[in-house]
Structure 1
Amino acid sequence: MTFLARHFLFTIVFTIAAWLVVFQCSPATAKIILVPDHYPSVNAAIQAAQENDTIRVAAGKYPERITLRPGITLEGGWDSNFTKRDIAANATTLAGSAMGGFSVFGADRTVIDGFIITGGKAPIMMAPDALIGPGIYADSINITVKNNFITGNNAAGIFLRTCNALIVNNMIAGNGQAGIFLEKNSAVTVLGNKISNNLTAGINVGGTELSQITISNNILQKNKRAGINAAWATGVIRNNLACENGHAGIRAGATPMLIANNTVTDNQLAGISVGAPAVDPTTAEMQAPEIKNNIITHNGEAGIHANGSGYSHNLLFANNKVNGFHPDFLWYTRLQFGGYEDMVSLEKSKNILADPLFVNPAQHDYHLRPGSPAIDSGDPDVSFNDKNFGPSLGADKNDMGIYGGPFAFPEERPANVSPVAEIDLPDRKFYVGEKILLNGEKSSDPNGDELSYKWSILLKPTGSKATLSASAKEKTKLVCDEGGYHRIGLTVTDRWGLRSSPKTIGLVVDRDKPPTAKISKQMSPVNVGDTIKLSAYDKKKQNGNELNFFWEFVRKPAASRTTFTDASTAKPTFVMDTPGCYTVQLQVYNGKKHSEPDTAHICSRQSRITGKRVVPDEYPTIQSALDTAEANDQIIVNAGVYKEKIIVDKVVDLIGVDWPVIDGGGEDNNDATVFICYLDNMTSGKVQGFVITGGGAGIFGHGLQILNSSPEV
């Protein structure tokens, strides 16, 4: 059985149970009429029935055009003895008339339950009540249609005009127009249906008078036009799966309209398309449909086409025929939103560009895998909180898509599996007095449940008063007052109380932290012949008088013969005696430990060849060459990997030879790897022949960023 069939079968069972309560409350005077035992045809039984009567129809094919009477219930799916009802095993078909027209004509306060309804077609004699040949035709009545298979009708599966209707748990497929068509101020709830392969929209709201709709928990698949076309309706569209339709997944225009917690994927046009915002005549404010908590992926046009307004807390991925995933690029972002949005506005609106991690989309299983970015990422307002676990995952906060929010149908959970605790510890040395970060965010639950955390110190040196900053959070900090070996434990527990095996990690804390070497910033560039004054003294960092200093040249021009005046003081000097770049290194000693070395590059304005500077032959880094360059210089960068971020603040030609790599390191910041900002739109400059990578992880962490400049790239 396919995933979609399982979903639909559950929906039928769930809702039939609810409707049994209604049947038990029927008045005592109601009669039960059997077809064919009491009457040979369905219409004959209807003519004999009174309000509140139930007509039970045994399995078989009934080639007649049904005209209902007010207040009766028509039930199919009974066996020939009327002892057992099974609508799947006991197929009961209302096949329409050879004369054409509708198959079933509704009446007020009627229930149609458990039939195959087919055979609606253009009438031979154009009766005024049968002009278009739908499966079910209803006008100006209250009607309930549930648990039917409505297929093979010439026009719509169900046609409603000015009706109050409940359409629940039907399969509506292969009809000549819409699966469901409604118009002229109808008020309709469409719940738990599968609507597929109809020749126009799955659900189509037409006319010129707004209807009121609640469309919830339906599957709308492979309809020739939109999954839902609600251009002439207000209301709610929630927790639906709209996939593989020929036009938009969901289309709406009027307000108020909430489109929430739908999964919209693989439709030929936009995922969700709404009209331009309209002016509310009572408030004079612009109003647009509210679009939130949806997952919208792989649609042929924009994920959301809404003129740049009305949406928040949605996940979009690979819409507008984008091959691959490029969330860091502005063009990718705008293709997801029909030409609108940038990274700043995207962050403000809380929309996400990411793979939703469906369980098996190839088999139409759009449940979320544990770890999906859509879990707990919907609108945090408690009115959108998840209610049923499963299918929802994680904490109570809204899961985006069909299986999140308070209206997701409950599902049986798979067997609960123990969560797994993991501890991430920085790969470095640790010292007394530091706050050592312990991270449990890689802990996981195979069922996707929310986890609670419990940290503990299992072992510490004798006399130690080591503490954890937050023993019940995902991350905690260990503060140690004694050197030696420490062992830390973590257990995690899922929302049902199932606990992981303990995860432990050991670390050695050193009592003596080494000093820090720090060379004060230099004024660069300088001229050949200048005396360079170095300094390691920084009163904000350390007391230089308590340290021993060790200065040396790591690199200097081959022709240089310069030396330090005194390499063991805090403030030595040297004379720049030849053009080029001098790399100096400082290490300090506090009587117990040496520091890690610090280095600085001091470069001359003059170059070996006028107008040209070569990296790394003359200058160890690209930035050191840029800092000393004059306007219009050439900076030649030979092959290699240069792990640095560079700022080009003057007009130069930056030329790579044999594709050198500039790698900004990809840190968690907004820094570009190459930032060009010489603020001159008239002159060019050049950046040529590089591989540029490693921009920061923030929204402005570009590979190459250009501000008010006009280089040739």
Structure 2
Amino acid sequence: MRDFTSLLIALLLLTGNSLLAATYYVSNAGNNSNSGLSLAQSFLTLQKGADVAIAGDTVLVANGTYAGFDFRNKNGTAANRVVFQALGTNVLINQSGPIRSDGINIENADYVTVDGFIVNGMPGNGNGVRVVTSDFCVVRNCSCDGNAERGIFTGFTNDILIENNICTNSVDEHGIYVSNSSDRPIVRFNTCYGNNNIGIHFNGDLSAGGDGIISDAQVYGNVLYDNGQAAGINMDGVLNPLIFNNLIFNNHFGQGIALFQQDGAIATRGAKIFNNTIIVPSDGRWGILVRDGSNIGTQIYNNIILNFHAWRGCITVDNTAQFTSDYNILHDKMSASGDGSAISLLQWQALGFDAHSQLADPLVDIFGDPANGDYHLAIGSQAIDAGTTLVNSFVNNDLDGAPRPLGAAFDIGCYEFVPISGNGEPSGALIEIFPNPTSDFVTISGEFTHFHLQVIDANGRVVLYRTGAGAPLTVSLKDLSPGVYFLLLENERNQLLGLKKVIRE
């Protein structure tokens, strides 16, 4: 018996907590004296779920209204994360947790996932979601509105992933704030608008401890608009950030993107700013602000940067050493001497920058429907096929997920133009689709392998994306609204195989 017990202990040590992992449930109909192990035996409060959860456990929360929770001093592992997940789309936290003013607080707890919560109206100095001194955490699919400080706040959080969140109307500060010595954060596919200050803010903040540097941040696929101060994306003390495919427009009293040093240990430097679309309103400041020191190793390629301020313009740098910029679409306002004055694009080019860049056409000639916030490229836009391949090690898709490039070269800006012909029926090599029209599924047959499929609506938006190893392929269109769609097929080298029109009845 002793040998069997030793064997069991060894097995548990080898497999972590996976053999013991539990799924707990929380609902408004629950009771904290229940086991929590089924919906019928659910807990009543989120805090009860947080109290019992350990590595490998999942806490599933039914639709309803709840007070927040605090999870701290317990770690998951890479193989056995601790997961807090909404079961439906209406899991609302509208009261603070028991310790802090935040809706969700993750503290000193690695490998934790927070998924799908609505966190609104946290009082005092409360954040919607707060993650501190916790590594390898994930915050995804959350909606944070009207919170006193920020939608999502993190500090000393290496390898955090913040994705697919909506952070709006923060009363004091920002939509998303990544702070302190937090290396390798990924902030992607989020929407931030209506916040009092910044859309997405990074601050290494040396005074808080650590090295005061945020290294290797990736910021892509975010939509940031109507935020109130400083910038759409603000970076203080960030080393080698990668910033691409972001749509940044109508942010007031600030920059589109700002690189600088204030609290961080270094000036943000080594930035790669690729394929963003930045529209600065008349009450904004600069499109991209590059303060002294932030010029070192910074590259700005394939961006649309337009500025409607009276004299401030598209790019300003305090120091041009080790700085590069090209293949952008710009207004005729630049600066090589900081915020104080502007020069023309021609004068800027004489300094050795933006040799292949273009002065911008009117908005309506560049974009599909800019008056209504649609910044997809218009047919015949000057941005089409006008970019450089210098970005192709980093930028493989656009903001919609469409592969880049689709045409002869990269398009400029956050969207790649989808090449639909006038009649919508370019020839396809031995490709057939049936049934057409369809009310549900469509099957694509032909002689092709290892392909990408995009389903594109009549406005050029990618509404469905699939990959496959070979034909035939059956795709469900039943979740799409009735109308005309185009099926764009490309091979693994992004070469066009065919484009077919289909009618969804």
TM range (shorter): 0.5 to 0.7
List aligned pairs for 1:482-497, cutoff 5 A: 495-497=496-498
Over the matched positions of the two proteins, sequence identity in percent amounts to 27
- 2:280 counterpart letter in structure 1: D
In structure 1, how many angstroms separate the alpha carbons of the residues matched to 2:219 and 2:146? 23
2:44 counterpart residue number: 40
CA contact (8 A) 2:333 2:343 kept: no
SS of residue matched to 1:297: strand
In structure 2, how many angstroms separate the alpha carbons of the residues matched to 1:385 and 1:134? 32
- 1:170 equivalenced with 2:165 (yes/no): yes
In structure 2, how many angstroms separate the alpha carbons of the residues matched to 1:360 and 1:61? 38
CA contact (8 A) 2:377 2:416 kept: no
2:329 counterpart residue number: 315
In structure 2, how many angstroms separate the alpha carbons of the residues matched to 1:121 and 1:216? 30
2:3 counterpart residue number: none
- 1:259 equivalenced with 2:273 (yes/no): yes
2:248 to 234, 242, 247: 242
In structure 2, how many angstroms separate the alpha carbons of the residues matched to 1:315 and 1:360? 18
1:37-81 residue CA offsets vs partner (Å, 9 max, x unmatched): 4211111112122211000001111124433543210011x2xxx
In structure 2, how many angstroms separate the alpha carbons of the residues matched to 1:245 and 1:198? 10
Runs of at least 5 residues in structure 2 that lack an aligned partner in the other structure: 1-16, 28-40, 77-81, 207-211, 261-267, 428-457, 461-494, 501-505
In structure 1, how many angstroms separate the alpha carbons of the residues matched to 2:144 and 2:195? 11
1:480-515 residue CA offsets vs partner (Å, 9 max, x unmatched): xxxxxxxxxxxxxx944569xxxxxxxxxxxxxxxx
CA gap of 1:147–1:133, structure 2 versus 1, over 3 A, is same
CA gap of 1:385–1:114, structure 2 versus 1, over 3 A, is closer
2:358 to 347, 352, 355: 352
In structure 2, how many angstroms separate the alpha carbons of the residues matched to 1:359 and 1:318? 22
Report the Cα offset of residue 305 of structure 1.
1.3
In structure 1, how many angstroms separate the alpha carbons of the residues matched to 2:421 and 2:67? 45
1:197 counterpart residue number: 194
CA gap of 1:171–1:347, structure 2 versus 1, over 3 A, is closer
1:129-168 residue CA offsets vs partner (Å, 9 max, x unmatched): xxx3222222221221000001221112222111121000
Runs of at least 5 residues in structure 1 that lack an aligned partner in the other structure: 1-25, 79-85, 123-131, 279-285, 321-330, 406-410, 421-445, 449-493, 500-713
In structure 2, how many angstroms separate the alpha carbons of the residues matched to 1:351 and 1:299? 18
In structure 2, how many angstroms separate the alpha carbons of the residues matched to 1:385 and 1:100? 40
2:133 counterpart residue number: 140
Greater strand fraction, Structure 1 or Structure 2: 2
1:627-672 residue CA offsets vs partner (Å, 9 max, x unmatched): xxxxxxxxxxxxxxxxxxxxxxxxxxxxxxxxxxxxxxxxxxxxxx
CA gap of 1:366–1:414, structure 2 versus 1, over 3 A, is farther
1:210 counterpart residue number: 213
In structure 2, how many angstroms separate the alpha carbons of the residues matched to 1:379 and 1:178? 33
1:369 counterpart residue number: 378
TM-score normalised by structure 1 residue count = 0.46
CA gap of 1:387–1:161, structure 2 versus 1, over 3 A, is closer
2:232 to 215, 227, 230: 227
Report the Cα offset of residue 392 of structure 1.
5.5
Report the Cα offset of residue 296 of structure 1.
0.8
In structure 2, how many angstroms separate the alpha carbons of the residues matched to 1:93 and 1:134? 12
CA contact (8 A) 1:135 1:150 kept: yes
CA contact (8 A) 1:239 1:262 kept: yes
TM-score normalised by structure 2 residue count = 0.64
- 2:387 counterpart letter in structure 1: G
CA contact (8 A) 2:115 2:140 kept: yes
Structure 1 stretch displaced more, 167-176 or 253-262: 253-262
In structure 1, how many angstroms separate the alpha carbons of the residues matched to 2:140 and 2:63? 17
1:533-574 residue CA offsets vs partner (Å, 9 max, x unmatched): xxxxxxxxxxxxxxxxxxxxxxxxxxxxxxxxxxxxxxxxxx
1:356-389 residue CA offsets vs partner (Å, 9 max, x unmatched): 6100111111111222111121123353675578
CA contact (8 A) 1:391 1:403 kept: no
1:270 counterpart residue number: 286
SS of residue matched to 1:44: helix
CA contact (8 A) 1:378 1:399 kept: yes
2:342 to 338, 342, 359: 338
- 1:383 equivalenced with 2:389 (yes/no): no
- 2:238 counterpart letter in structure 1: A
TM-align CA RMSD:
3.6
In structure 2, how many angstroms separate the alpha carbons of the residues matched to 1:99 and 1:140? 16
- 1:210 counterpart letter in structure 2: I
Report the Cα offset of residue 319 of structure 1.
6.1
2:176 to 140, 160, 180: 180
- 2:273 counterpart letter in structure 1: I
1:400 counterpart residue number: 412
Give the number of equivalent residue pairs. Answer: 362
CA gap of 1:319–1:30, structure 2 versus 1, over 3 A, is farther
In structure 1, how many angstroms separate the alpha carbons of the residues matched to 2:421 and 2:191? 24
Structure 1 stretch displaced more, 309-318 or 361-370: 309-318
SS of residue matched to 1:45: helix
Report the Cα offset of residue 118 of structure 1.
2.6
- 1:111 equivalenced with 2:108 (yes/no): no
CA contact (8 A) 1:277 1:288 kept: no
- 1:73 equivalenced with 2:73 (yes/no): no
- 1:203 counterpart letter in structure 2: I
- 1:239 counterpart letter in structure 2: N
In structure 2, how many angstroms separate the alpha carbons of the residues matched to 1:95 and 1:275? 41
List aligned pairs for 1:124-163, cutoff 5 A: 132-142=125-135, 143-163=137-157
2:57 to 50, 53, 77: 53
In structure 2, how many angstroms separate the alpha carbons of the residues matched to 1:201 and 1:387? 26
In structure 1, how many angstroms separate the alpha carbons of the residues matched to 2:202 and 2:359? 31
- 2:225 counterpart letter in structure 1: Q
Instruction: Point out the structure with max Rg over C-alpha.
Output: 1
In structure 1, how many angstroms separate the alpha carbons of the residues matched to 2:388 and 2:404? 15
2:445 counterpart residue number: none
CA contact (8 A) 1:260 1:294 kept: yes
In structure 1, how many angstroms separate the alpha carbons of the residues matched to 2:180 and 2:273? 22
- 1:70 counterpart letter in structure 2: N
